[in-house]
């Protein structure tokens, strides 16, 4: 996915501001299994998925609990590092060989101070991430596993094709056996 389109999907800026941001990113590629962001570490970069898929998880009682998948066009960042300059909670690992646009948080913050268009873009990015987090929380707390699976099928059917069922089950907050049962019923 083109970085210009990613920027526009977040917030439409004048071409001059957009060109500044486009000039600051570097393209990077990592192999499947690479840990892009690590828990308990202040992360200094923001990534945007050009191609590939990532999984965010936390460790709970020695088990990986998946709470988010990032697809093409999405931002990948530790919000805690981004907002508070503190170590993040999550690990983010690549589920496929992936390419990203990498942007330095330090350079971005410097632009926020002097360019209101870029500051508004940054605000909109944070707002969108907050809304996604709120939606995941509400889904996890107030919908059944079957409803969550149905939402996943309706909104992100590509995840079912690209992600191991164990990760899908973890994301839905159920066991893989329960997921198999739900899949059989939903077909």
List the CATH number of the domain containing 88.
Answer: 2.60.120.10
- Same domain, yes or no: 12 and 83: yes
Residue 186: is its pLDDT beyond 90? no
Co-location of 26 and 48 in the same domain: yes
Give the other-Cβ count within 10 Å of 33's Cβ: 10
Q: In angstroms, rounded to a whole number, what is the distance separating the alpha carbons of residues 17 and 150?
A: 40
pLDDT(187) > 80: no
pLDDT above 90 covers what percent of the chain?
95
Instruction: Looking at the structure, tell me whether residues 86 and 174 fall in a common domain.
Output: no
Which pLDDT score is estimated for 88?
A: 95
Task: Spell out a b/e string for 95-131, using b for 16 or more CB atoms within 10 Å of the CB, else e.
Answer: beebbbbebebeebeebeeebebbbebbeebbeebee
Shared domain check, 152 and 60: no
| One domain, residues 56 and 118 | yes
pLDDT exceeds 80 at position 60: yes
C-alpha closest to that of 68 among 172, 164, 182: 172
pLDDT of the residue at 168: 96
What is the count of structural domains for the chain? 2
User: What are the tens digits of pLDDT across the range 20-57?
Assistant: 999 999 999 999 999 999 999 999 999 999 999 999 99
Residues 63-105 have pLDDT tens digits of: 999 999 999 999 999 999 988 999 999 999 999 999 999 999 9
pTM, 2 dp: 0.93
Residue 183: alpha-carbon gap to chain centroid: 25
- If asked whether residues 127 and 165 sit together in one domain, one would say no
In degrees, to the nearest 5, what angle opens at C-alpha 84 toward C-alphas 82 and 87? 80
Task: Determine the pLDDT at residue 42.
Answer: 96
Tell whether 16 and 83 lie within a shared domain.
yes
pLDDT digits (tens, 9 = 90+) for 142-167: 999 999 999 999 999 999 999 999 99
Report pLDDT digits (tens) over 100-147. 999 999 999 999 999 999 999 999 999 999 999 999 899 889 999 999
Contacts 24+ apart (CB under 8 A), 54-63: 54/92, 54/93, 54/94, 54/95, 54/98, 55/92, 55/93, 55/95, 55/163, 55/167, 56/90, 56/91, 56/92, 57/90, 57/91, 57/92, 57/93, 57/170, 58/89, 58/90, 58/91, 59/91
- What's the rounded Cα separation, in Å, for the pair 112 and 122? 8
Same domain flag for 95 and 27: yes
What's the CA gap between 89 and 141, in Å, rounded?
Answer: 20
- What is the span of the domain harbouring residue 163? 143-187
Please give the structure tokens belonging to residue 171: 């994301």
């Amino acid at each position: 996915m083109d970085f210009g389109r990613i920027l526009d999907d977040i917030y439409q800026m004048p071409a001059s501001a957009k060109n500044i941001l486009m000039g600051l990113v570097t393209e990077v590629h990592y192999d499947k299994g690479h840990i892009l962001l690590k828990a308990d570490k202040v992360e200094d970069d923001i990534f945007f998925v050009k191609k590939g898929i990532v999984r965010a998880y936390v460790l709970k009682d020695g088990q990986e609990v998946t709470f988010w998948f990032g697809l093409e066009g999405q931002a990948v960042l530790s919000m805690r590092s981004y907002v508070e300059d503190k170590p993040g909670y999550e690990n983010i690992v690549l589920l496929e060989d992936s390419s990203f646009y990498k942007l330095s948080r330090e350079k971005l913050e410097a632009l926020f101070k002097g360019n209101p268009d870029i500051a508004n873009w940054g605000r909109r990015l944070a707002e969108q991430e907050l809304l996604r987090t709120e939606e995941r929380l509400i889904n996890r707390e107030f919908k059944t596993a079957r409803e969550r699976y149905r939402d996943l099928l309706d909104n992100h059917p590509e995840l079912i094709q690209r992600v191991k069922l164990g990760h899908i089950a973890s994301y839905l907050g159920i066991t893989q056996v329960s997921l198999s049962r739900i899949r059989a019923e939903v077909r």
